[in-house]
Amino acid sequence: MSSLRVSGKRVLLRVDFNVPIENGVIKDKYRISASIPTIKNLLKRGASLIIIAHLGRPEGYDESLTLRPIVRVLSRMLKKKIDFVKTIEELEMKAPVLRRGRILMLENIRFFNGEVENSLEFARRLAVLGDVYVNDAFGNAHREHASIVGIPKYLSHSAGLLLEKEVEYLGRVFKKSKRPIVAIIGGAKIQSKLPLIQQFLKKADAILVGGGIANTVLAAKHISIGLSVADINVDISWLDLSSRKFHLPVDAAVTESLTVGSRYTVRAVGEVLKGEYIADIGPDSILLFKAIVAKAKTIIWNGPLGYIEVPAFAKGTIELVRAVASSKAFKIIGGGDLNRVVDSLKLAKKLDHMSTGGGAMLEFLAGKKLPGIEALK
């Protein structure tokens, strides 16, 4: 980004502010704060900014997904006024007279036709309002949307500081990493993580699996998981689950209800009853996983190991986060749910990098080319 001339110019800045909001209150501000260095750098160098972001997956206008709460928080973080623009027409009126050092922020870009469809006409309409384009939205780099891959066709462009950092740190995982390399994979959607698991089976020294991913593997091995969440329709027969690199939980915290206040019982894997849910990895699994982590020189982790929405079932994830944070290994953690755990424990500074990407992180590490990054080349 340092080579991009921005003094006196209007910068179209694409960021990833897709954060959890409940009743107008932002529950996790990490993705917002992660782009602050890029914003401050551009302002310091004499630019004016038109910030573009999305929230959720709306189909047209949806008041619950307005960016208004984010504008308020960002304004406080920057200690600077931000002019919130609700429509493209309003942006077309204000952008041409935007003065140096000022900031406009457009309403949720996914409210407008043409964004998700990757309309070049829509991208061109936005592009004429700026002089240069900067993409700092790593979390959306795997999307072929107009504000990600369309605008760079019409303007001089660059990656932002956050996007540059994401590519640098994630790129080190396989190219420059010290061994042993330990991968920790949790969460619920195994379909999106299969390419990553396959990649780690080739290149990592150990893979620790928890959450819904572990349930799916256990079910595929015809081991009882009771009522637990699992992608039972996903074919994983081609994965080498017999590899000695692959480590499943050996015990689990099980419960009859995934609600706050529910009691749980620890059972060995394979002894889960029909009416029970696997809610977390058990104490023996925690000890096993921590022992493997203790020997690691590189750690990469995506997705929680249990049903962390209920505090009682977050123990396995919390214990392992603490173990990873205290390790001297090169360590990266990513994914919204997991990032919130790290943030709540105030351990982000103990990590080498906390990725803002979920799906983008998975695809990048799986070796896929991300459209948003390719568009900047």
> What is the SS3 string spanning 297-326?
CEEEEECCCCCCCCHHHCHHHHHHHHHHHH
Q: Which residues contact 365 (CB under 8 A, 6 or more apart)?
A: 170, 173, 174, 196, 199, 300
SS3 333: strand
Of residues 64, 111, 118, the one with CA closest to residue 87:
111
Q: Please tell me what DSSP assigns to residue 370.
A: P
Cα-based angle 123, 60, 55 (whole degrees, multiple of 5): 75
Give the gyration radius of the chain's Cα atoms.
Answer: 22
CA atoms within 13 A on the CB side of 332: 26
Cα-based angle 81, 1, 373 (whole degrees, multiple of 5): 105
Q: Which residues are catalytic?
A: 31, 189, 336, 359
